Structure 1
Amino acid sequence: MKQYIIALLISFISITSAKAQFFTNTLIYTTGELTLGNYIGLDLNLNYIIDDSYSLKLGYTGTIRTPKSQPDNYSSGVTGVFALGFDNPYDQIENYQMGIGKIYNLNPSGTIRANLSVGLGYTIVTTPQNWQENNDRFFTENYTWHYNKQNTVSLVINPKIEFPLTSFYGLTLSPLVILNKHSSYFGIGIGQMIGLLR
């Protein structure tokens, strides 16, 4: 524990003692987006831009949808109504990604730019399987199931249109594609950006 505290202090001192010139050539900010497509979910990223030209992105995408394998007569029961669907089975995609990109300013003032990013992701695809009907249940689900998890590598294509409205806050609009051999995601995200934006 002591080593972690020392490492954290050294990192903090290094960052605070960096020259101001470092920040004139780099931008660091976070983005958070609601994504809608063949799944619904969230896309969260830490972005690093160098010389207003190139970007590096680390992120996480989490999505869910009604299971493709779900029986037509599935019911969450009385307790499912009170849980607002949070305990229902879902197809899920979780993706941890790293991407690189190219920045294009779309207007002279720098308030609209394209961040064309592509990268790789470590993806966990979770699907409910082995549906077993249980007609005796009224208060809970009328089926039981088991989750199957598959891990894979994905190609992530995520061009963004960014609107840094101020130096610290902006909006984003972005198509998002996560391609893999098990279950792919296609959709669009809308969200916000916070940090050193321009």
Structure 2
Amino acid sequence: MVIDLQRCMGCQTCSTSCKLSNNIPDDIWWTRVLTEGGDFIDTGSGEYPKVSMQHIPVSCQHCENPACVKVCPVGATFKDADNGIVRQDYDKCIGCRMCMAACPYTGVRSFNWEEPKYAMDFQVGDPSVAPHQKHTVEKCTFCVNLVAKNEEPKCVRSCVGEARHFGDLDDPNSEVSRLVREREVMQLLPEKGTHPSVYYLV
């Protein structure tokens, strides 16, 4: 995933489309758009007249070297060998939350303490999404159900600013490979050694 921070305007469309497409329970978000400078949406940093505002979309970083996979005692958190996506197997998850503790990216995983509750009394979103379960950890899946059909994740398809790009970084001819090669990029917490698969164009 490549996210162009110069094009992201903090509209939260990625967050809401992700929530709807994946039928995510109330009070849970897999994708959030944080604002550098404050704890609330659209909080600037600095002091007048020198103020600035930077939106930073954050979700699971689908690391090449995921800390969460190493600590899961039952193999419920795993890296998909076919596409590199870090996934959760809800049927195997025992709710120990070791993956949440090991992940250096605060807030990208959620835990269903109770039976999932929804704003609507019927399922919304893609019918191929795995049903949510009580006492399980969940997070962004890069819409693995859509990727399996050669489609882009919902956040990419719905981004009105065209700030998000998805593809095969190992393919030198792919758009994501070209963008990472031609633009200045950053990754979140590179010092943790997880090698995130999300690149931010700055």
TM tier, smaller: under 0.3
Higher relative helix content: 2
Greater strand share, structure number? 1
Q: Taking CA–CA contacts closer than 8 Å with sequence separation of 6 or more, which of the two structures ends up with the larger relative contact order?
A: 2
